[in-house]
A = this chain, B = another copy of it.
Amino acid sequence: MFSKACEYGIRAVIYIAANSNEGRRVSLKAIAKHIDSPEAFTAKILQILVRHNIINSVRGINGGFEIEKQNLDVILLADIVKAIDGDQIYKRCGLGLHACSEAHPCPVHYQFVTIKNGLRTLLETTNLKTLALEVNSGLSFLKI
C-alpha cells in the first residue's frame, strides 16, 4: 500500500503528534525507538516532513521534533502520504495502465475507483488530533 518510508513517516508523525498534544517535544532517538524504525533512515524521512511543514524541528540540546498544537486537527494522514509517496496511490490505475479509464472502462474499473475513493476519504478525513488522542488514551500501539 505505502512505501516503507511512508509507513515510518506515518508512525513517526503519530508519535510526535501524541507527544505534542501533551506538550512534549521528542528526539529522533526516542521516535525511532518507540516506532521501531531505523534511526538514520527515520531522520531522512523526518527531514522531508520538516521541509513540507508537517512537523517542526529544533536543533541543539533539548531539541527534537514537535507539531504546533493548533495544527493537530488540520494536518491529515493524506498530507504525510503525499509528502513521502506522492498522491498516485489512489490516482493510478489499479492495473498499471494509462489511457483507458472512464472512456473504455475494464470490468474492474469502477470497483477500483470505489476502493481508491475509500482510501482517499480515509486519508483526507483523518487528522492527527484523532490519532494522537487514541495513542494518548492508550488504545493504540505504535510499536510492533
Q: State the A residues within 8 Å of B (CB).
A: 1-2, 4, 7-8, 10-11, 77, 89, 92, 94-100, 104-108, 111-112, 114-115, 118-119, 121-122, 126, 130-131, 134, 139-142, 144
Contacts and interface: CB of A to CB of B under 8 A. Distances in A.
A107 B94 contact: no
B108 A7 contact: no
Contact of A10 (B89, B95, B122, B139): B95
A107 B95 contact: no
30 contacts: A1-B1, A1-B94, A2-B94, A4-B96, A8-B96, A10-B95, A10-B96, A11-B95, A77-B108, A97-B141, A97-B142, A98-B144, A104-B139, A104-B141, A105-B139, A105-B140, A106-B131, A106-B134, A106-B140, A107-B126, A107-B130, A107-B140, A108-B126, A111-B118, A111-B121, A111-B122, A112-B122, A114-B118, A115-B115, A115-B118
Closest 5 CB pairs of A and B: A7-B96, A106-B140, A111-B122, A115-B118, A107-B130
